[in-house]
Amino acid sequence: MSTEGQVITCKAAVAWEPNKPLVIEDVQVAPPQAGEVRIKILFTALCHTDAYTWSGKDPEGLFPCILGHEAAGIVESVGEGVTEVQPGDHVIPCYQAECRECKFCKSGKTNLCGKVRGATGAGVMMNDRKSRFSINGKPIYHFMGTSTFSQYTVVHDVSVAKIDPQAPLDKVCLLGCGVPTGLGAVWNTAKVEPGSIVAVFGLGTVGLAVAEGAKAAGASRVIGIDIDPKKFDREFWSY
């Protein structure tokens, strides 16, 4: 049965207060408005940024909210004017938007798109400055424009990337944050050159992506540094 245009009630992990356990709640997710996309989230990862905001230390942190920003899913429905994705498409929600129109997108120097930043930083959607999440009428803030700790979420159409339907969603969800963060650190910030020796501090998702990026950039040696000795058993260190 189609849910297009209807409010969907689903499960979500809600952060009611900073530094308090998340609570699994029945959440109402409103239909997407113009320029918005509603996504059925199938896989979501946990990033340190989620924990940072949950801790209460994030100056932009708003509560109650639905955290999560590293995920993959399938488009359930789209709002008016959305043309780049359609229901059934496999997608990755992107906390960093790309409108291709603002001065930042056109600069060639940064990917810090400014089109929807004023709304996502305030935990709402740009169209009406309201949330698409609620519990019994009480609004629940969005997080980073993604809120993937919910079975369904609504994002701006400039904050979603269509992917190959054959790609395994349980793996490519990491392309929502950790992997591009590591690759970008190598290719865009450090600009690792062929023959370089690269030291990687911390061997989580970002660190492993840094190692992969360094290898692709032609590094002659990659040195992994971590306080957890179990991480040194990975085949990764055959690099």
In three-state secondary structure terms, 107 is helix
Residue 170 vs residues 36, 42, 91, 177, 207: alpha-carbon distances, Å: 24, 8, 12, 14, 19
DSSP characters for 70-84? Answer: -EEEEEEEE-TT--S
Average pLDDT, the chain: 94
Which residues have a Cβ under 8 Å from the Cβ of 19 and sit 6 or more positions away? Answer: 54, 55, 56
- Chain-centroid distance of CA 61 in Å reads 16
Report the side by side order of strands in the sheet with 65-66. 65-66, 8-15, 23-29, 133-135, 138-140
Pairing of strands 23-29, 8-15: antiparallel
Chosen CATH of 179-236 out of 3.20.20.70, 3.40.50.1100, 3.40.1740.10, 3.40.50.720 = 3.40.50.720
- Establish whether the linkage from the previous residue to 93 is cis, with ω within 30° of 0: no
For the 8-176 domain, the top CATH level (class) is alpha beta
pLDDT digits 0-9 by tens, 39-87? 999 999 999 999 999 999 999 999 999 999 999 999 999 999 999 999 9
Kindly report, residue by residue over 77-133, the tens digit of the pLDDT.
999 999 999 999 999 999 999 999 999 999 988 889 999 999 999 999 999 999 999
The pLDDT, as a whole number, for residue 239 is 47
Cβ neighbors of 153 (< 8 A, separation 6 or more) are: 29, 38, 39, 41, 66, 73, 93, 132, 146, 147
Residue with tokens 């009406």: 128
CB 162 within 8 A of CB 89: yes
Every domain of the chain with CATH number 3.40.50.720 lies at 179-236
Residue 232 pLDDT? 75
Q: How many CB atoms lie within 10 A of CB 229?
A: 7
Q: Residue 28 is which amino acid?
A: Q
Residue 141 DSSP code: B
> What tens digit of pLDDT does each residue of 192-214 get?
999 999 999 999 999 999 999 99
Using CA atoms, how far apart are residues 33 and 81, in angstroms rounded to an integer?
9
pTM of the model: 0.92
pLDDT surpasses 60 at 238: no
Q: Summarize the confidence of residues 124-143 as an average pLDDT.
A: 98
How big is the chain, counted in residues?
Answer: 239
Instruction: List for the chain the helix, strand, coil content (%; round to 5).
Output: 25, 25, 50
Domain with CATH 3.90.180.10 in the chain: 8-176
